Each structure stands twice: as structure tokens, then as C-alpha cells.
């Protein structure tokens, strides 16, 4: 094989690549925050809601988790205009990523909630905690702590899945790479560089999430008795 690598060619397109990278970061951060918030709400409804509510949440989770993300994006971007609701590519990407991540977050957080022993809740009640205090300190925070590694992995997967949004003309990193490749005709160099960027993004995101976990859960552990967390052995 006689091939000469010319990575220097990419320097001429650094503005396009940086713009795509910034878009990827923005939509990923938004999806992580919004998807997790929705996931917490739905997981709570799934665990403590009435039967109709639980069935609705289950239907949503199963629908999203068992259909391709690309099809979901197509429905939002191409399907909604047929109903008179037109959204831009960035908005469609944000909605699609949020809805998708929320479904996975719901199932992960639900598993954490169900891992909380009932005796801990009963202990909180016996100590006179309000329902909000029990939910916050005894249920949801310990539940998220239990499943935090799984949530972090899902966040990274969602960030990587943002590349699929290029299929609906979202100008994120993969779309920028496709443009650069079409202009430079250096496919190998372009996609090797983009692979390195995605790898770096994933590693940085994992590091940031690890620091957030240390700050959030380490602080709780450090505060000890100052925090109304109930720990009762089974």
C-alpha cells in the first residue's frame, strides 16, 4: 500500500471542525442535564406512582429503548412538519437526544430507587422526616449514588450517539468531518482525526463526571451526621 498521510491539510478546516465540536458539546450537555432531570421524575413516578402512571412510564421507556435512535430523529425532524410543527435541525437533535437519554436514565434510576431498602424509609418516618426529606435524602440521592457509574456510561454513549444527528443536517462534529472530507478528499486523515477527538471528548467527559460524583457524594459522606441520611442495615 502506497499512501502518504497529509494531516496538515486539516489545518485549513479547523474552524469548521471546531464549530462542529462546539455544537457536539452543547447538545450533549443539554441532553445530559435535561434527560437526567426527566429520568429522575419518571423513575420516581414509576416507583411510587399509581398503576396507570406506571404503565404510561413503562410504555414510554419500552418504546424509546426498543426503537432506533435514528428513526426517532427522523420522526421529529421529518415527521412533525407533516403535522404542522416544524423544528430546526439543532432543536430536533436536542429533543431526540433528551427523549432518548431520559428513557435510559429512567430505567437506570428506577433500579437504584428499588434498591433502597424499605427499612430505611420506615426509619426516616420514625425520625419525623417529612415526605420531601425522605424522598431527597433517603431515596433519590442514595439511589443515584448506587447507579451513578451506569448513568455516567450512558451519558458518554449519548455524547457519542450525537454523531447520528448529522443525518438530519445537524452541524455537529461528524457533519463537519463529512464537509471537510468532501472538500479535501482526505477521508482517512479526516476520520482518524475525528476519532481522536471523540476519544478525547469521552475521556474528558468521564473525568468531569467523576469529579462531579466526588463532589456530590463525597460531600454527602463528609458531612456525616449533619445530613439527615438514614442508614439502616437490613
Give the C-alpha separation, 226 to 220, whole Å: 9
pLDDT tens by residue, 117-143:
777 766 776 777 777 777 777 778 888
At 219 the pLDDT is 65
pTM, two decimal places: 0.86
pLDDT tens by residue, 139-187:
788 889 999 999 999 999 999 999 999 999 999 999 999 999 999 888 8
- Architecture of domain 10-226 in this structure: Orthogonal Bundle (1.10)
Nearest to 232, CA basis, from 130, 121, 144, 147: 121
Q: Which residue has the cell 496538515?
A: 8
At 66 the pLDDT is 96
Record the cell numbers describing residue 126, joined without a space: 420514625
Q: Which residue has the cell 476520520?
A: 191
At 25 the pLDDT is 97
Domain boundaries, the chain: 10-226
The pLDDT of residue 65 is above 80:
yes
Strand, coil or helix: 88:
coil
pLDDT tens by residue, 205-219:
999 999 999 988 886
Q: Which residue has the cell 437504584?
A: 112
pLDDT tens by residue, 98-120:
999 999 999 999 998 888 777 77
Strand, coil or helix: 232:
coil
Amino acid at each position: 500500500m502506497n499512501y502518504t498521510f497529509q494531516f496538515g491539510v486539516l489545518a485549513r478546516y479547523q474552524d469548521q471542525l471546531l464549530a462542529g465540536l462546539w455544537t457536539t458539546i452543547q447538545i450533549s450537555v443539554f441532553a445530559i442535564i435535561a434527560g437526567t432531570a426527566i429520568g429522575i421524575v419518571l423513575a420516581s413516578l414509576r416507583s411510587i406512582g399509581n398503576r396507570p402512571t406506571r404503565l404510561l412510564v413503562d410504555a414510554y421507556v419500552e418504546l424509546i429503548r426498543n426503537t432506533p435512535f435514528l428513526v426517532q430523529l427522523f420522526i421529529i425532524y421529518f415527521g412533525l412538519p407533516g403535522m404542522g410543527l416544524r423544528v430546526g435541525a439543532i432543536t430536533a437533535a436536542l429533543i431526540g437526544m433528551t427523549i432518548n437519554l431520559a428513557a435510559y436514565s429512567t430505567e437506570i434510576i428506577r433500579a437504584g430507587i428499588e434498591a433502597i431498602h424499605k427499612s430505611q424509609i420506615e426509619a426516616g418516618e420514625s425520625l419525623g422526616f417529612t415526605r420531601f426529606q425522605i424522598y431527597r435524602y433517603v431515596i433519590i440521592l442514595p439511589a443515584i449514588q448506587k447507579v451513578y457509574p451506569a448513568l455516567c456510561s450512558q451519558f458518554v454513549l449519548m455524547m457519542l450517539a450525537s454523531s447520528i444527528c448529522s443525518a438530519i443536517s445537524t452541524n455537529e462534529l461528524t457533519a463537519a468531518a463529512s464537509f471537510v472530507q468532501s472538500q479535501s478528499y482526505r477521508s482517512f486523515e479526516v476520520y482518524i482525526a475525528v476519532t481522536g477527538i471523540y476519544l478525547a471528548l469521552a475521556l474528558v467527559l468521564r473525568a468531569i463526571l467523576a469529579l462531579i460524583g466526588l463532589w456530590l457524594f463525597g460531600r454527602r459522606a463528609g458531612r456525616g451526621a449533619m445530613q439527615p441520611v438514614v442508614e439502616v442495615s437490613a
